[in-house]
Amino acid sequence: MTTSDLSAFHIRKWYLQIEDTHAGETGAPADGAPLRKIVIAACLKNPFAGRFEQDLSALIDPSPALGREFARRIREAAAGQPIESYGKACLVGIDGEYEHGNALLTNPAANPVREGIGGGKSWVPSTGKRGGPGTVIDIPLAHKDALYVRSHYDTVTAHFSDGPNRDELLVIWAFATRGRLNARLGGLAASEVKGQDGLY
């Protein structure tokens, strides 16, 4: 990434959260590899803070560059491990609208992330809200190629101690390297995914 690639956005800070889980809540060891969950977020100036704007293209049009930078960062954080599930969220400072954050979660920004992790057939589960520094947000996760993989329905919790300010917003992506530890509720297995329509 060069500075000019993201010149449309005034990014104040990048966040990275990584957790590796080796055993379940009751102490049962992982049924296979540990579960790595990764959260990457960018805190950036909201150009529409404090006013209504019908046309949000000033955020949407340059957002593929932001998506490419998220993709680069997730590849780095995964350290060679394949990504199996993903989710996204926005956290908008209180002078902005929820819609402002959603403008940076649409396909122009999301497609480069999909490409960066080797593809993703299913829609990306998402959430968001307005809040200030210290706000906690739960980001949903689902299998990147098949939504019906029940073992990969999960959540990762994140909080950002100094953002967003009133006139900022956070764009947040979350990823996981596998499904829940010791998942045993049946359904389509990840090994059976066809990856044709985003469902199976």
CATH code of residue 44: 3.30.1330.110
Identify which of 14, 12, 10 has the alpha carbon closest to the alpha carbon of residue 173. 14
- 3 inside domain: no
At 179-188, the pLDDT tens digits run: 999 999 998 8
Per residue in 17-46, pLDDT (tens digit) is 999 999 999 999 999 999 999 999 999 999
Give the per-residue pLDDT at 156: 97
In sequence order, what E strands does 23-163 have?
A: 35-45, 85-92, 126-130, 136-143, 154-159
Confidence of residue 104 (pLDDT cuts 50, 70, 90): very high
DSSP string, 47-71: TTTTS--S--HHHHTTHHHHHHHHH
pTM for the whole structure: 0.94
Domain of 136, in residue numbers: 11-20+29-192
Return all residues near 167 (Cβ < 8 A) that are at least 6 apart.
45, 46, 49, 50, 93, 95, 96
Phi, psi of 48 (to 5 degrees): -105, 10
